[in-house]
Amino acid sequence: MQEYRLEMRGVCKSFPGVKALDHAQLRLRPGTVHALMGENGAGKSTLMKCMFGIYEMDEGEVLFEGQPVKINGPLEALEMGIAMVHQELQPIPARTIGENIFLGRYPMKKFLGIIPMVDHDKMYEDTAALLKKVRMEFDPRRMLGTLSVSQMQSVEIAKAVSANCKVLILDEPTSSLTQNEVEALFRIIEDLKAEGVSIVYISHKMDEILRISDEVTIMRDGQYVGTWDAKELTTDMIITRMVGRELTNLYPPRENVPGEVVFEVEDFISINPRSFRNINFNVRKGEILGVAGLVGAQRTELMEGIFGIRSHAKGAIKYQGAEMKINRPKDAIDNGIAMLTEDRRATGIMGVLSIADNISIASLNQYLDYGVMINDKKVEELVQDNIKKMNTKTPSSKTQIQSLSGGNQQKVLIGRWLANNPDVLILDEPTRGIDVGAKYEIYTIIADLAKQGKSIIMISSEMAEIIGMSDRVMVMCDGRVTGFIDGKDATQENIMELATQFE
C-alpha cells in the first residue's frame, strides 16, 4: 500500500501580475485529516483548485496512489475520486436539494426502453439515503433556495460525500455553520477517516484545526513552509509560522470614546411575523455595537430591514433625532448608512469587474462632470487612495476582484462604503473566512473608524470577536432583543444566557 494517497510536488501557478504558487507541495496519507493553513493570499485555495482541475499548473506534478496524473477538470477529478467543497458556495437556488447534489451525474433510465431521461425517483431515493447517512434532516425535493446559508453549506458537504471520494477537500467548511452543525460535520469526518478517506481541511479556526487534524501543512506567500504532526503544535506556533512573525494581540488597542446617541431604531417590526419584532436600540457616535446571537436570531434580517433590503411593517429609524424614511438601499445610502453584507460572493463583490469598479460603484455620482460624464481621473485617485488606506494586496486597480483573496476582497468592499463617507456602518460578519493576520487589519480599520466618530454596528458569530471588539453588546434571540451588556462585562456565559432566552 502506498504511504501517500496523493502528492503534489513543485507546483507553480501565476496570474497576471502575481505568482500565486511558488514550488508548493502537499502529501496526503490515507485515513487522515490534513490541515492546510496560511494567511489569505498564501495560496491554499489556489493549490486545491490545481488539485481539483479548476486551474492548470504552470509547473509541478501530481501523483495519485503512486502514479503521475494530469487532472484536466473537476469532472475528471470526481471520476478519479477527488471531491471539493468550496469556500464560496455555488448553489442553484431554483433547483431541489437532490438536483443540486447529483448535478452533472444524474441517475438515468430509458423511457419506453429507448429515450434516455433522468430517473428522478432513484435520485431522490439516493439523496434521502445520503442525507440520512450524514445526519441531515432535509426533504430531498425541497428547493435549495429556501435553505439558510449554513444549511446550503451542509448540502454541499453531503454532495461531496456522495461522490464516494478517496480525497475530500473542505475549504472553510464551518464558516457558516452553527455549533451543532459543526459537531455533525466532525462526526462525518470521523466516519470518512475510518473508511480510509484522505481529508484536506482548510480553516482559520485554530481550535478546530488542533481538535481534528492529524497533520498540518503551512503555506506563506505561495510557498511551502513545512508540515508538522498536529499534536506537536500550539495556536501560537501555528500563527507565528503562518504570518512569519509573532502576533501578541489578536485585537488592536482602541482609542475611540463613544459620545452622544446619534442613531436610533424604535419599535421596528418585520412584515414577516416569523422575523424580527419590537426592536429598540441605539448607537452612540464613535461606538462599536456588537450584535450577538445564534443562527436564526434574525440579526441579518434586522440589519437588512434597517438598510432597506427587506420591508418592515412599522417602526422608526432616526439619526440625530430626525426620522429617516428608508424603503430601499438607496434611501439608506443617501442618509449616510452603509452595509457590508454577510455573503461576499452573493451580495458583495461583482466578481468579473475590476477592483476600481467595485470600489467606486456606490459613489460614482460624486465624480460626474456636468452631471453626466464620469471623471475617470478623479475615480482613479479615489481607488488608489482606498487601496493604500486599506493596504489591499493587488497587482493593479484593473485586476478582477474575484482573483483576490477573501481578506483583500473584504477590504475592497469596506473601501467601497468608505468612499461615501457614511455616518453609520453596518458590518455583517466582517471577518468571515479571513485569516488571523487579515482579521487584525480589518479590526484595525474598524477601530480607526470608531475613533473618527463613525457609529459601527457589527454582527459576528465569533464570540471572541464580539467580546474583543465591542464597546457594548446587543444580544438577540428568535427575532427579539434579549438584552445589552457593557463591553467590559461581556463574557461567553452572559452572552449565551441572553442568546438562548426563547419565549
Shared domain for 88 and 217, answered yes or no, is yes
Q: Let me know: does 267 contact 306? Beta carbons within 8 Å.
A: no
Please give the model's pTM, rounded to 2 decimal places.
0.65
- 173 pLDDT tier (thresholds 50, 70, 90): confident
Residue 18 and residue 50 in one domain = yes
C-alpha cell at 250: 489578536
- Please name which of 422, 149, 418, 157 lies closest in space to residue 299, comparing C-alpha atoms: 149
pLDDT 10s digits, 386-399: 888 888 888 888 88
252 vs 247: CA distance, rounded Å: 11
Tell me: the pLDDT tens digits for 142-170? 998 888 776 787 788 788 888 788 999 99
Query: What does the pLDDT look like over 253-299, one tens digit per residue?
Result: 889 999 999 999 999 999 998 899 999 999 999 999 999 998 779 99
Sheet holding 215-220, edge to edge: 82-85, 167-171, 198-202, 33-37, 215-220, 223-229
Q: Considering its fold, how many domains does the chain have in total?
A: 3
The CATH number given to whatever domain includes residue 277 is 3.40.50.300
Q: How far apart are CA 160 and CA 364, in angstroms?
A: 42
Give the Cα separation of 440 and 443 in Å (integer): 5
pLDDT tier at 176, thresholds 50, 70, 90: low
Is pLDDT at 92 greater than 80 in this prediction? yes
3-state DSSP assignment of residue 488: helix
- Whether residues 403 and 437 fall in one domain: no
Domain range spanning residue 268?
A: 249-336+422-503
Closest CA to 87 of 116, 127, 44, 147: 44
Same domain (yes/no): 325, 361 = no
Residue with grid cell 488608489, as numbered in its chain: 384
For residue 352, pLDDT over 80 is answered with yes
- Rounded to 10 degrees, the C-alpha dihedral 151/155/161/162 comes to 150
| pLDDT of 230 strictly over 60 | yes
Angle at 293 between CA 287 and CA 416, to 5 degrees: 50
Structural element, H or E, at residue 422? none
Beta strand pairing call for 108-111 and 115-118: antiparallel
User: In terms of domains, do 298 and 327 share one?
Assistant: yes
Same domain? For 10 and 70 the reply is: yes
Among 331, 329, 351, smallest CA distance to 339 is for: 329
Task: State pLDDT tens for residues 31-82.
Answer: 999 999 887 678 888 899 999 999 999 999 999 999 999 999 988 998 899 9
Q: Which of 421, 443, 472 is the last residue of a domain?
A: 421
> Are both 57 and 168 inside the same structural domain?
yes
- Whether 89 shows a pLDDT value over 80: the answer reads no
Residue 260 pLDDT: 97
Same domain? For 262 and 317 the reply is: yes
